[in-house]
């Protein structure tokens, strides 16, 4: 009898624990499918959203863009800025139950620096070596001072992976990634879904209230929203600005938005090949006139339903790095006309290549008619994105519209685009004075000094204007009302810590 009782109790308990009703599942709609799920090799924005749940980093970024502890609890720069010592969190485990310690950090950083397929090499190019200087202490030695390293370590370059798994899978790590984040990898169906489940030994497990999270790539924003409305999704990222009003007025949905750290801009071909040889590339007065003829506020209202903000620098006006002495210019057609005249022109023909998506097309058609009043005859060349990037890199353009998703450290929004040898300097603008300022800003660990350098650089760039900044979009999320605890962050990530669903 006793045995029977025990058996039934055991069975009942077994059934109860197997019941899925207690599991909280969160379904998130993404705009694209992620690429390979290896922090060393990955390059997509949506990939980073998935990592935010799966792979903890040495440091994280707070909503106000400060570097905060994650796997590292503290860090210190040497006075000469050539050494960075980090103290690691104790008792952290990877999803395969191996320990996350100094040796694992060293192995990961070295993997990022040496794996042939690694995309992290340039992000870690200032690192000379990294050593375990204690069981829970690592020391980075730098070739030259580089304060942006911390920001790099707050992203994929700083995601620590299990050395055991990395060794077993090598470049194929993405087929079964093993990290130390709150959720572990379950399965992935290409172009369909990525499924993660709660890691029971996560160091901060008491603040994780979701048991399972599924990411579904749904490129069409209308369909993404339809899935949210029908209850098939709990949350979507990158809601179209045109749907903002509909979501706000829906009692079942919640709207969240924040101005992002990226920018929208026009790149002028200053010295990239023979096509730079035109008045617009040669005479900065024409570029200044072009910028003055644009009504950035109107663009924001018409194209982005008021969700974006106008801008004239690589950092949005609400950023601590924005130079307040150069505010976003109001539209001034008379002054623009005068500048065109001063440069010796009546009408200036300009060919502008733009991405062939409807939003960019609408926006640039409005710009086309705005600048026409100041004397610019803009012909729009609508180009598919891969081609546009190619043309822009090779210098086969006069004026090109492309955007930057933004980096946490200000350096990431400016240095590689503007410095003479910058990796993605497509305008081939080159000014030794600007180079000097930007290099000095990168080397100083003192934010006040850095700000001064960026301010000085922005004064020169605002005059030379190789890049005409147009503004900054917002990240927009829509959530089911039952999802709480989501904090919108300017980096566009979805941090699941503290998020709840239900009730």
Number of alpha carbons in the 13 Å side-chain half-sphere of residue 263: 27
**Interaction with another protein in 34-63: which residues (CB under 8 A)?**
35-36, 43-44
Query: Any contact of residue 192 with another protein (CB under 8 A)?
Result: yes
Member of 8, 9, 62, 172 binding another protein (CB under 8 A)? 172
Supply the minimum distance, in Å, between the C-beta of residue 273 and another protein: 16
* SS3 state at 130: strand
Which helix H or strand E contains 256, and what residues bound it?
strand 253-259
Which span (14-22, 185-193, 266-274, 322-330) binds another protein, by CB under 8 A?
A: 185-193
Residue 174 DSSP symbol: G
CB 191, min distance to another protein, A? 4
With binding defined as CB under 8 A, does residue 229 bind another protein?
yes
User: DSSP class of residue 351?
Assistant: E
Residue with smaller CB distance to another protein, 371 or 467: 467
Residue 323 CB, nearest approach to another protein (Å): 24
The reply to whether 226 sits near another protein by the rule CB under 8 A is yes
Structure token pair of residue 225: 């929203």
Instruction: Write the interaction track for another protein spanning residues 106-145; mark x where CB under 8 A is met and - where it is not.
Output: ----------xxxx-xx-----------------------
Contact between 33 and another protein per CB under 8 A: yes
- Among 154, 162, 227, 312, the residue binding another protein under the rule CB under 8 A is 227
What is the gyration radius of the CA atoms in the chain, in angstroms? 25
Helix ranges (DSSP H) in 187-259: 221-229, 244-248
**Residues ≥6 apart with Cβ < 8 Å to 140:** 83, 84, 85, 86, 109, 127, 129, 130, 149
Q: Select from 16, 372, 424, 459 the one that contacts another protein (CB under 8 A).
A: 424
Q: Which two tokens stand for residue 295?
A: 């009504």
Pick 44 or 444: Cβ nearer another protein: 44
Of the two residues 172 and 207, which places its CB atom closer to another protein in the complex? Answer: 172
Q: Burial letters for 315-326: b for 16+ Cβ neighbours within 10 Å, e otherwise?
A: bbbebebbbeee
- Shortest gap between Cβ of 348 and another protein (angstroms)? 27
Nearer to another protein, 162 or 402 (CB): 402
The closest alpha carbon to 216, from 184, 240, 188, 241, belongs to 188
Shortest Å, Cβ 424 to another protein: 5
Q: Are 414 and 434 in contact (CB under 8 A)?
A: no
The answer to the question of residue 191 lying near another protein (CB under 8 A) is yes
Question: How far is residue 103's CA from residue 406's CA, in Å, rounded to a whole number?
Answer: 31
Q: Does 220 bind another protein (CB under 8 A)?
A: yes
Question: What is the end-to-end Cα distance of the chain in Å, rounded?
Answer: 42
In the list 39, 81, 163, 174, the residue contacting another protein (rule: CB under 8 A) is 174
Residue 222 sits in the site that holds another protein (CB under 8 A): yes
260, 404 contact by CB (below 8 A): no
Provide, rounded to whole angstroms, the least separation between the CB of residue 165 and another protein.
16
- Binding segment toward another protein, per CB under 8 A, in 190-198, 269-277, 346-354, 485-493: 190-198
Nearest to 49 by CA among 224, 196, 256, 240: 196
For residues 477 and 347, is the Cβ–Cβ distance under 8 A? no
Span from 145-153, 222-230, 270-278, 466-474 in contact with another protein (CB under 8 A): 222-230
Residue pair 206/182 in contact by the 8 Å Cβ criterion: no
H/E stretch holding 267 reads: strand 263-268
Query: Exactly one of 267, 404, 429, 477 binds another protein (CB under 8 A); which one?
Result: 404
What is each CA distance from 294 to 265, 304, 310, 316, 371, in whole angstroms? 12, 15, 10, 17, 6
- Specify the residue, 227 or 291, whose C-beta has the smaller distance to another protein: 227
Q: Which two tokens stand for residue 287?
A: 């570029």
Q: How many Å apart are CA 438 and CA 452, to the nearest integer? A: 10
* Smallest separation, CB 116 to another protein (Å): 7
The answer to the question of residue 384 lying near another protein (CB under 8 A) is yes
CA separation for the pair 193, 27 (Å, rounded): 10
Q: Which is nearer to another protein, 219 or 320 (CB)?
A: 219
User: At its nearest, how many Å lie between another protein and the CB of residue 386?
Assistant: 4
Q: Does 216 bind another protein (CB under 8 A)?
A: yes
Shortest CB 392 distance to another protein, Å: 9
Q: Is 462 exposed, middle or buried (0-12, 13-18, 19+ CB in 10 A)?
A: middle
Tokens of 444: 């100083």
- Binding residue for another protein, selected from 190, 251, 274, 448, defined by CB under 8 A: 190
C-alpha separations of 173 from 150, 201, 210, 263, 388 in Å:
25, 21, 25, 33, 32
Strands (E), 117-203: 127-134, 137-142, 183-189, 193-198
Total binding residues toward another protein, as defined by CB under 8 A: 44
Tokens of 297: 């506020």
- Measured from the CB atom, the residue of 229 and 337 that comes closer to another protein is 229
Shortest Cβ 230–another protein spacing (Å): 4
Residue from the set 256, 297, 391, 435 that interacts with another protein by CB under 8 A: 391
Give me the residues that bind another protein (CB under 8 A), please. 33, 35-36, 43-44, 116-119, 121-122, 171-172, 174, 189-193, 216-220, 222-223, 226-227, 229-232, 384-387, 389-391, 393, 404-405, 423-424
């Amino acid at each position: 009898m006793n045995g029977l009782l025990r058996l039934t109790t055991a069975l009942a308990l077994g059934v109860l624990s197997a019941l899925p009703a207690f599991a909280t599942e969160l379904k998130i709609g993404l705009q694209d499918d992620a690429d390979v799920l290896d922090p060393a090799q990955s390059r997509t924005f949506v990939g980073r959203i998935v990592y935010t749940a799966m792979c903890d980093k040495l440091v994280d970024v707070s909503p106000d863009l400060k570097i905060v502890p994650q796997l590292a609890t503290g860090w210190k720069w040497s006075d000469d800025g050539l050494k960075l010592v980090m103290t690691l969190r104790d008792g952290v485990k990877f999803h395969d139950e191996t320990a996350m310690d100094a040796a694992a950090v060293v192995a990961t950083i070295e993997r990022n620096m040496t794996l042939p397929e690694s995309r992290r090499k340039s992000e870690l190019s200032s690192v000379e070596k990294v050593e375990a200087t204690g069981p829970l202490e690592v020391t980075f030695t730098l070739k030259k001072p580089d304060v942006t390293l911390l920001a790099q370590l707050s992203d994929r370059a700083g995601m620590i992976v299990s050395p055991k798994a990395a060794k077993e899978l090598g470049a194929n790590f993405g087929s079964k990634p093993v990290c130390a984040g709150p959720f572990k990898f379950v399965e992935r169906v290409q172009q369909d879904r990525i499924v993660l489940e709660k890691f029971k030994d996560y160091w901060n497990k008491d603040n994780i209230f979701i048991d399972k999270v599924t990411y579904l790539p749904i490129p069409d924003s209308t369909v993404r929203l339809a899935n949210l409305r029908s209850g098939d999704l709990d949350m979507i990222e990158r809601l179209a600005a045109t749907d903002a009003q509909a979501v706000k007025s829906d009692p079942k949905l919640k709207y969240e938005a924040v101005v992002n750290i990226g920018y929208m801009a026009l790149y002028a071909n200053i010295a990239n090949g023979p096509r730079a040889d035109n008045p617009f590339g040669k005479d900065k007065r024409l570029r200044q006139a072009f910028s003055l003829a644009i009504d950035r506020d109107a663009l924001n209202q018409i194209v982005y339903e008021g969700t974006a903000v106008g801008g004239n620098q690589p950092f949005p006006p609400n950023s601590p790095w924005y130079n307040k002495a150069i505010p976003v210019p109001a539209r001034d057609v008379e002054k623009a006309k005068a500048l065109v005249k001063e440069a010796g022109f009546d009408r200036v023909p300009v060919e502008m290549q733009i991405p062939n998506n409807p939003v960019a097309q609408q926006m640039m058609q409005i710009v086309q008619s705005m600048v026409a009043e100041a004397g610019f005859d803009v012909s729009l060349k609508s180009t598919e994105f891969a081609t546009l990037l190619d043309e822009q890199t090779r210098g086969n353009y006069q004026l090109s519209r492309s955007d930057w998703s933004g980096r946490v450290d200000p350096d990431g929004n400016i240095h590689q685009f503007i410095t003479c040898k910058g990796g993605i300097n497509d305008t081939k603008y080159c000014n030794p004075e600007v180079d000097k300022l930007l290099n000095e800003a990168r080397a100083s660990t003192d934010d006040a000094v850095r700000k001064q350098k960026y301010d000085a650089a922005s004064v020169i760039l605002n005059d030379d204007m190789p890049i005409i900044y147009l503004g900054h979009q917002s990240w927009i999320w829509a959530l089911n009302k039952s999802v709480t605890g989501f904090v919108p962050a300017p980096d566009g990530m979805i941090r699941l810590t503290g998020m709840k669903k239900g009730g």
